[in-house]
């Protein structure tokens, strides 16, 4: 690797385990946050009765499905990248880049879903369905944006040799968070488009 | 991570005292921050009491300054802001930073033998996030239309734009969100630190009970602060983006609408654990202090831990007792009632263990011991009156009266505050290297516990008489006029209680700079924190200690002339 990598001391396995444990607790905490939002979704959906409410503009199902597949693909790429990175095998940077690009594509598709609804005259103030769709995807998207910045940061770090087999815990934790974003989206997708 | 990368001690003022990653400095930051907010919240309480005793007359001294437009009289809107901000400030910016922020940061690494928190940078971020939350909350007092008037519970539709105009409520929600985020960061740090950084030899059952209390609190923080965070996000969206999560259908477009009761569920799913978030650290500290100053091992250590664990679990499944008057499904209400009653079982076990700890002990009645005993007393009063509120039939009568106000002030406010005072008097010598005045401390204790008991017990009577919460001028209701003398008694006692806190403030400030120098172990206890030199060196332990005994080995017959043993020494065979 590059000279910078030589200067960076190898991670202590104990501190790697510490960081992983901390991240697991963080994700537990975030699960409660998103769980609360999903609980609100279920309760309000029950209150509305007919679901989706008749006569409203619905977000595009095909586009949301494409977005889901793109995000799942991104997760797979990131997972493969971490595996390569940990084993110091080739393709770490490339796969991570693929995951990042797919993540950005997801964000673009998500924006398209919003603007498509707005263009059709819908919006967060239109009713409960719209409140839930915009509100929940906003919170998810805000986390996705931060996660994308982290993915990008790691991409740059892989290039300079800051991250690699010698220093993997930040990479693993970012990947873990990214998978979590994926899971949250899948739950939202199932709630809004499937069931 | 701590222990792996030892950085040299920072020398610049900014890095040493402001943006410090040292848990000891952060603990002190939290302490000062919380104490200042307790003062602000306390002054607000005094003004609320003034209005209740003398409705419509100008507040003396500070009235002209704060309410110039009305000539010093608290107007109805300001009264609403006062009780709303009093509650919010005391809970989120006063007690939480002192009990959890300050003593959590101080005690955990020192008591378990760690060099620092496991994530020092996250620790610093936690403090600066709560500071930002405090700043946002403070700023909300100065926006047009003022701070929020919706009560600290922020129930919709009062808290949506239907009930409250202006930015005050939105800023309040942002502040609560930020403070919650700070608590989550702290909680994750505490849990991971306790799991991973205990010194060699320190089994789970060798941890001081203070650490156990903080551990359970951290678990509740990590699990339930996200719930209030999400609830606040939905409230902010309702207010700013016109969504309808909480606003009912008939008021909005009419097509479909939100549910104000949804907010109450989310709020109390968080809100009930929050009560235990505040009281568990106090319980842990009390359990330790009783053993330390009775010179006896903590009775039933493992049972105490088990009872605290049971309370932690149960706290998550009883929140519905806050909502008996919402027209809850009867079977559900009864389940919540039963579960709430069950909490008194571990509660009683704790009381039994505490009393058995001091039973036939060689009591040293220091100020911190007095406050620990005070916690038993005030929590007893608050806990027993809780039974009436847990019972649906009596709760429906007592709901939203001063009975509730008296109850929750004794349990989550007074008990937590007494725990914080006990801890402050106890840890002060190690934190600041000087002793607090015991004479002033005892004066502070007696001038606190007597008026405090009068204040909140009188509230039980007036509440039972029908005195509702949050009324601006209750004398406008004929049936409440005969209760006026009770309100006057409460107010006068409250003023005495407030004045007594000035003794504490004076004692704290005077001792901080001019108190007599403290020895390394003035209380003669064995926990790791008191085996260290004062002031505690940078990175705490030169060598990580090896733990060989429990934290409460007092008066062991084989110890000889000294009645305590450091946790680093083995008990004589």
pLDDT one-digit tens code per residue, B453-500: 999 999 999 999 999 999 999 999 999 999 999 999 999 999 999 999
For residue B100, what is the DSSP state? Answer: I
- For chains A and B, CB pairs below 8 A equal 117
Could you give the dihedral angle defined by the CA atoms of residues B468, B470, B471 and B472, in that order, rounded to the nearest 10 degrees?
160
Alpha-carbon gap, residue A170 to B4, rounded angstroms: 16
Task: Please name the residue of chain B whose CA is at the shortest distance from the CA of residue A9.
Answer: B5
CB contact under 8 A, B269 and A36: yes
CATH of B26-559, one of 3.30.710.10, 1.10.569.10, 1.10.10.10, 1.20.210.10: 1.20.210.10
Contact of B310 with chain A, judged by CB distance below 8 Å, is answered with: no
Opening angle at CA B288, ends B283 and B294, nearest 5: 120
Among A29, A44, A134, whose Cβ lies nearest the Cβ of B184?
Answer: A29
Q: What is the pLDDT of residues B62-112, one digit of tens each?
A: 988 999 889 999 999 999 999 999 999 999 999 999 999 999 999 999 999
pLDDT at A118: 96
- Any idea where the domains of chain B sit in the sequence? 26-559
- Torsional class of B145: left (φ above 0), alpha (ψ -120 to 50), beta (otherwise): left
The alpha carbon of residue A131 is apart from the nearest alpha carbon of chain B, in Å, by 5
Q: Is B400:B467 a contact under the CB 8 Å cutoff?
A: no
- The helix (H) or strand (E) run that includes residue B211 is helix B209-240
Between chains, do B222 and A25 touch, taking CB under 8 Å as contact?
yes
Question: Among B531, B525, B524, which Cα is nearest to B546's?
Answer: B531
The number of angstroms, rounded, from the C-alpha of B384 to the middle of its chain's C-alpha atoms is 20
CB-CB neighbors (< 8 A) of B266 in chain A:
36, 39-40
Is B233 near chain A, with CB under 8 Å? yes
Q: What angle, 0 to 180 degrees and rounded to 10, lies between the N-to-C axes of helices B120-139 and B168-196?
A: 160
What does the pLDDT read at residue A9? 59
Average pLDDT over residues B242-250: 80
What is the average pLDDT value for chain B, to the nearest integer? 94
- Enter the pTM of the model: 0.95
ipTM of the complex: 0.94
Integer CA distances (angstroms), B451 to A139, B117, B345, B414, B445, in order:
47, 39, 30, 12, 10
Look at B230 and A15 and tell me if their CB atoms are within 8 Å: no
What's the pLDDT at B572? 86
Q: Is B141 on the interface with A (CB under 8 A)?
A: no
**Residues of chain A positioned with their CB less than 8 A from the CB of B224:** 32
Q: Which of B88-92, B125-129, B142-146, B413-417 has the lowest mean pLDDT?
A: B142-146
Q: Which chain B residues have a beta carbon less than 8 Å from that of A33? A: 226-227, 229-230
Residue B561's pLDDT is 83
Residue B74: which of B127, B146, B151, B5 has the closest Cα? B146
The reply to whether residue B227 touches residue A44, judged by beta carbons under 8 angstroms, is: no
pLDDT band for position B255 (50/70/90)? low
What letter would DSSP give residue B14? Answer: I
User: What is d(CA A132, CA A148) in angstroms, rounded to the nearest whole number?
Assistant: 24
Cβ-based contacts of A125 with chain B (< 8 Å): 241-244, 253
Interface of A with B in 14-53 (CB under 8 A): 14-15, 17-19, 21-22, 25-26, 28-30, 32-34, 36-37, 39-40, 43-44, 47-48, 53
Residue of B nearest to A122 (CA): B243
A104: nearest Cα among A58, A161, A150? A150
Question: Which of B250, B267, B266 lies closest to B258, judged by CA?
Answer: B250
How many DSSP H helices and E strands does chain B contain?
17, 0
Q: Provide the residue ranges of all domains of chain A, joining segments of one domain with +.
A: 34-46+56-194
Taking each helix axis as running N to C, give the angle between helix B209-240 and helix B103-112, from 0 to 180 degrees, rounded to the nearest 10.
140
B215 interface with A at CB cutoff 8 Å: no
Residues of B within 8 A of A30 (CB-CB) are 226
How many CA atoms lie within 13 Å of B268's alpha carbon, on the beta-carbon side?
A: 16
Residues of chain A with pLDDT under 70: 1-10
Q: In the predicted model, is pLDDT for residue B566 greater than 90? A: yes
B370 burial level (CB within 10 Å; 0-12, 13-18, 19+): buried
Q: Is the confidence at residue B6, as pLDDT, over 80?
A: no
pLDDT value, residue A48: 83
Least confident of A8-12, A173-177, B160-164, B236-240: A8-12
Tell me if the domain spanning A34-46+56-194 has CATH number 2.40.170.20: no
């Amino acid at each position: 690797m590059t000279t910078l990598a030589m200067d960076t001391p190898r991670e202590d396995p104990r501190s790697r385990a510490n960081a992983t444990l901390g991240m697991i607790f963080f994700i537990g905490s975030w699960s409660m946050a998103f769980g609360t939002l999903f609980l609100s979704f279920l309760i309000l959906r029950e209150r509305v009765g007919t679901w989706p409410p008749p006569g409203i503009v619905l977000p595009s199902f095909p586009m949301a499905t494409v977005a889901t597949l793109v995000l799942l693909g991104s997760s797979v790429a990131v997972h493969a990248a971490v595996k390569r990175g940990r084993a110091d095998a080739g393709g770490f940077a490339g796969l991570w880049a693929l995951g990042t690009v797919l993540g950005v594509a997801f964000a673009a598709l998500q924006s398209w879903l919003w603007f498509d609804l707005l263009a059709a005259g819908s919006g967060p103030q239109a009713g409960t369905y719209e409140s839930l769709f915009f509100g929940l995807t906003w919170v998810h998207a805000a986390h996705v944006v931060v996660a994308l910045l982290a993915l990008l940061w790691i991409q740059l770090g892989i290039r300079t040799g800051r991250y690699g087999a010698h220093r993997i815990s930040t990479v693993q934790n970012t990947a873990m968070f990214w998978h979590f974003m994926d899971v949250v989206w899948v739950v939202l997708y199932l709630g809004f488009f499937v069931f | 991570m701590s222990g792996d990368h030892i950085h040299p001690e920072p020398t610049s003022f900014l890095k040493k005292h402001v943006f410090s990653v040292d848990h000891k400095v952060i603990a002190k930051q939290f302490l000062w921050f919380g104490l200042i907010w307790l003062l602000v919240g306390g002054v607000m309480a005094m003004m609320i009491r003034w209005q209740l005793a003398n409705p419509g007359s100008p507040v003396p001294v500070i009235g002209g300054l704060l309410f110039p437009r009305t000539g010093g009289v608290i107007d109805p809107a300001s009264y609403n802001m006062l009780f709303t901000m009093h509650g919010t400030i005391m809970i989120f910016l006063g007690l939480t930073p002192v009990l959890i922020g300050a003593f959590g940061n101080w005690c955990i690494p020192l008591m378990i033998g760690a060099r620092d928190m496991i994530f020092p940078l996250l620790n610093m971020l936690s403090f600066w996030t709560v500071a930002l939350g405090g700043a946002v909350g403070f700023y909300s007092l100065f926006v047009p239309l003022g701070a929020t008037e919706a009560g600290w519970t922020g129930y919709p539709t009062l808290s949506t734009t239907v009930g409250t105009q202006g930015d005050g409520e939105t800023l309040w929600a942002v502040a609560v969100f930020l403070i919650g985020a700070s608590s989550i960061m702290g909680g994750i740090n505490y849990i991971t630190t306790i799991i991973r950084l205990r010194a060699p030899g320190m089994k789970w059952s060798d941890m001081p009970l203070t650490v156990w209390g903080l551990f359970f609190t951290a678990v509740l923080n990590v699990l339930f602060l996200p719930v209030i965070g999400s609830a606040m996000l939905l409230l902010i969206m309702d207010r700013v983006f016109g969504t309808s999560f909480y606003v009912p259908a008939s008021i909005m477009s009419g097509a479909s609408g939100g549910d104000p009761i949804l907010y109450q569920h989310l709020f109390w799913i968080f809100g009930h654990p929050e009560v235990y978030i505040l009281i568990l650290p106090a319980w842990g500290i009390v359990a330790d202090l009783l053993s330390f100053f009775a010179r006896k091992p903590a009775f039933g250590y493992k049972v105490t831990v088990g009872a605290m664990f049971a309370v932690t679990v149960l706290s998550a499944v009883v929140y519905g007792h806050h909502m008996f008057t919402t027209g809850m499904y009867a079977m559900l209400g009864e389940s919540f009632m039963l579960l709430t009653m069950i909490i008194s079982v571990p509660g009683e076990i704790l009381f039994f263990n505490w009393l058995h700890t001091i039973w036939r002990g060689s009591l040293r009645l220091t100020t911190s011991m007095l406050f620990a005993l005070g916690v038993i007393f005030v929590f007893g009063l608050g806990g027993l009156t809780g039974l009436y509120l847990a019972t649906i039939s009596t709760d429906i009568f007592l709901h939203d009266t001063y009975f509730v106000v008296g109850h929750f002030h004794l349990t989550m406010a007074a008990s937590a505050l007494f725990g914080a005072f006990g801890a402050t008097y106890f840890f002060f010598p190690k934190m600041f290297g000087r002793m607090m005045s015991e004479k002033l401390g005892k004066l502070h204790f007696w001038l606190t516990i007597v008026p405090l008991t009068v204040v909140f017990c009188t509230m039980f009577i007036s509440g039972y008489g029908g005195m509702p919460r949050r009324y601006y001028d209750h004398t406008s209701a004929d049936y409440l006029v005969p209760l006026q003398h009770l309100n006057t008694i409460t107010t006068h006692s409250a003023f005495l209680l407030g004045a007594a806190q000035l003794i504490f403030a004076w004692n704290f400030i005077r001792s901080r700079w001019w108190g007599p120098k403290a020895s390394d172990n003035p209380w003669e206890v064995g926990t790791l924190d008191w085996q260290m030199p004062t002031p505690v060196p940078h990175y705490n332990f030169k060598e990580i200690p090896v733990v060989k005994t429990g934290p409460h080995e007092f008066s062991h017959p084989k110890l000889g002339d000294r009645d305590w043993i450091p946790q680093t020494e083995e008990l004589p065979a």
